[in-house]
Structure 1
Amino acid sequence: MSFPVQQKVQDVVRQYRPAKHFPNAKEGSYITSLDFDDQGEHLVAASSSDEMTVYNIKEGTKTKTIPSKKYGIHLARFTHHNRQVLFASTKQDDSLRLLELHNESFVRYFSAHTSQVTCVALNPGNDTFLSCGNDDLVCLWDLNSRSPQGKLKLITPYLAAYDPTASVMAIASQSTQSILLYDVRNFDKAPFATFDLADAERKYCPSTQGRVWTKLEFSNDGKWILLGTDYHGHFLLDSFDGVVSAFLTGKTDGSGRAAPVSTSGKPLGQGDVCFSQDARYVIGSSGGSGDLLVWDTTLAGNGTTLESMVKLNGRGFKSPVVQVNPRYNMLATADQKVVMWLPSDQIKNSDT
């Protein structure tokens, strides 16, 4: 697959279409997470069949599949070293593992959690990362050390994210309906801000308060925090004061994935919504149809209910996992298949 040298996201965002799809290696299994490396040249997909698959984006090919039958695999994340992948175990124990891709060997284990890891967030500036667990624990790690650099004991801290400057980390707690902001340099101190979402949840999604948060992400300009939910819509918050600038609507039903802890046998997921590369748009699943919705954040303000500006035809490919490429005008979605999306003019010109 080829990419244009320069095109603004606003010029192509309406043109995205499924360009190529790859079935999961094991029939009946589900992709539970997707992640691009820093250069946007590789994609890693974790599967409920206890394996990860790596794709070459420029060539539009599958490069290798690596099993993890003993430990399971979820939340596979490239580190800043694009031949290394960090992932959470789903079997035997609840540790994290760092894998060297070229020889498929483990570099290091990270053990502290005593229940399922629900989120892994890489620091954008260095080799530290955060993990959250169903044991009410948040851990701060360094990739070069097996022991956590710090721990926080909170109530349902299922989601975490770094801001783009790597100076602030946000922790989302479902049951307390709040987002806590910490100074990364003072990890062990009290949060410097707490955003209470209780009133917003009562207003926009009263029937599912504190139950269906699936995604926490800062925009890469630092202006917004995106809080994804599983059914009713998504919250777009001002990252400085926590005010809900918009509630993004249009989703017709749930993703069918755990949010983010599986209590009913649903496959795990990582959320079906994310920011575009330029932070102007939010892209997410419309629900069971597999179509994608695109919301324009420049229209947000004063708690408006914001409808999507366009619906992108998913051609029937379901999309409970959605991830945008950080470098190129393409994105990937997944359910039982990994689907790569390109602007329609690139599909016509592609030789794949």
Structure 2
Amino acid sequence: MVCAKNFTENQDVINHINFTPDGTLLVTSSNDDSITVYDCANGTKQRSVNSKKYGVDLIHFAHTHNDAIHASTKVDNNIRYFSLHGNKYLRYFKGHTKNVTLCMSPVDDMFLSGSLDKTIRLWDLKSSNCQGLMQLSSRPIAAFGIFFLNFIF
């Protein structure tokens, strides 16, 4: 495999990447507090924004090309819903007291967050209220799974 394009804009390591479901765009979060969107077909950078106040990690596209969620690395452990097009925060998801990990549902606007505070939370992008909470005895691991069942009669 040959590298088709090398982007060198970031001042620090890229801590997460995520593709849109159709594979046309790639979003990255970096330890330099930047969010960058790339056009995969053309190999070009579309836009870059900074989150210097909150920091950014674990960026994930929501179910549009214009919105994303990410974990905060500064100030608090909130999850932020960000408009890449409007360059503004749409919603904050508060509740975790330690570092988080994220998993976006592949079929709807729900997402899971697991935290070193030993909780897993279920969220809906339409509401800043936690939709479900699990208290655990150890570090959580959370993921969405899709299972298709075929019945033959």
Corresponding residue for 1:39?
A: 22
Question: Could you say which structure has the higher helix fraction?
Answer: 1
Taking the aligned partners of 1:100 and 1:18, their CA distance within structure 2 comes to: 30
Q: Which residue of the partner structure matches residue 131 of structure 1? A: 113
Residue 141 (1) aligns with residue 126 (2): no
Q: CA deviation at 1:160?
A: 1.7
Residue 23 in structure 1 maps to residue 5 in structure 2: no
Using the alignment, how far apart are the partners of 1:116 and 1:35 within structure 2? 19
Superposition pairs of residues 93-108 of structure 1, within 5 angstroms: 93-108=76-91
Structure 2 CA distance for aligned equivalents of residues 129 and 81 of structure 1: 14
2:102 corresponds to 1:120: yes
2:74 to 79, 87, 91: 91
Describe the SS at the equivalent of 1:147. Answer: strand
Q: Secondary structure at the match of 1:19?
A: coil
- Are the aligned partners of 1:85 and 1:99 in contact in 2 as well (CA < 8 Å)? yes
Separation (CA, whole Å) in 2 of partners of 1:92 and 1:120? 18
Once residues 111 and 165 of structure 1 are traced to their aligned partners in structure 2, the CA distance between those partners, rounded to angstroms, is 30
Post-superposition CA distance 1:197-223 (Å, at most 9, x none):
xxxxxxxxxxxxxxxxxxxxxxxxxxx
Q: Over the residues paired in the alignment, what is the CA RMSD in angstroms?
A: 1.2
- Once the two structures are superposed, residues 166-190 of structure 1 have per-residue CA deviations (whole angstroms, 9 ceiling, x without a partner) of 9xxxxxxxxxxxxxxxxxxxxxxxx
* Percent identity (aligned): 37
Query: Which consecutive segments of 4 or more residues in structure 1 shift more than 3 A?
Result: none
Q: Distance in 2 between matches of 1:37 and 1:56?
A: 10
* Residues 166-315 of structure 1 mapped to structure 2, 5 A cutoff: none
SS in 2 for 1:86: strand
Distance between the aligned counterparts of 2:60 and 2:66, measured in 1? 11
Are the counterparts in 2 of residues 88 and 94 from structure 1 also a CA contact under 8 Å? yes
Identify unmatched segments of 5+ residues in structure 2.
Answer: 149-153
Determine the C-alpha separation between the residues in 2 that align with 1:126 and 1:165.
15
Structure with the greater alpha carbon radius of gyration = 1
The question of whether the paired residues in 2 share the 8 Å contact of 1:38 and 1:82 is answered with no
How many residue pairs get aligned? The number is: 147
Instruction: Report how far residue 137 of structure 1 moved.
Output: 1.0
Unaligned runs of 5+ in 1: 1-15, 167-352
Instruction: Determine the structure 1 residue equivalent to 2:151.
Output: none
TM-score by length of 2: 0.92
State yes or no: 1:54 paired with 2:52.
no
